[in-house]
Amino acid sequence: MLVAPGLYQLSLGFYSRKLPKLKVYVNNEVIFTILPPSNDSNKENQSANSNRSVITAKHSAGNIAGLTFTEFIALPARARLSVGYDSETLGEGFFQLKKL
């Protein structure tokens, strides 16, 4: 639980055999959903927080790019932040929150 309200930088990244769908919650309410690249032939995905495209390619060592995301959010006092992970496979990841 975050006691101090204000602006924060949220960064997260998850890596698994199949890229997950992520949901970020504040006080049990979804504030945004992060989707993996679509299943079309060129795997092009419009980033949720920029005007650039991300191309995810298959690599012989597996999924080395992962699904990463950085966003700036204004949190209320006593905010409870959580992340929902939805994928067919297990994975690993990181979650970083920095007060600005």
User: What sign does the CA torsion over 86, 33, 27, 4 have?
Assistant: positive
Task: Decide: residue 26, CB within 10 A, 0-12 exposed, 13-18 middle, 19+ buried.
Answer: middle
Q: How many domains does the chain have?
A: 1
Whether 3 has a pLDDT exceeding 90, the answer reads no
* pLDDT tens figures, 20-74: 888 999 999 999 998 876 655 444 444 444 444 455 667 787 667 678 889 999 9
| pLDDT greater than 70 at residue 2 | yes
Query: Does the pLDDT of residue 83 top 90, yes or no?
Result: yes
Instruction: Pick from 7-11, 60-64, 86-90 the range whose average pLDDT is largest.
Output: 7-11
Residue 1: inside a domain: no
Q: For residue 46, give its domain range.
A: 6-99
**Is residue 48 assigned to a domain?**
yes
User: Is residue 73 situated within a structural domain?
Assistant: yes
Is residue 24 domain-resident? yes
How many other C-beta atoms lie within 10 A of the C-beta of residue 83?
15
pLDDT higher than 70, residue 19: yes
Asked, for residue 85, whether it belongs to a domain, the answer is: yes
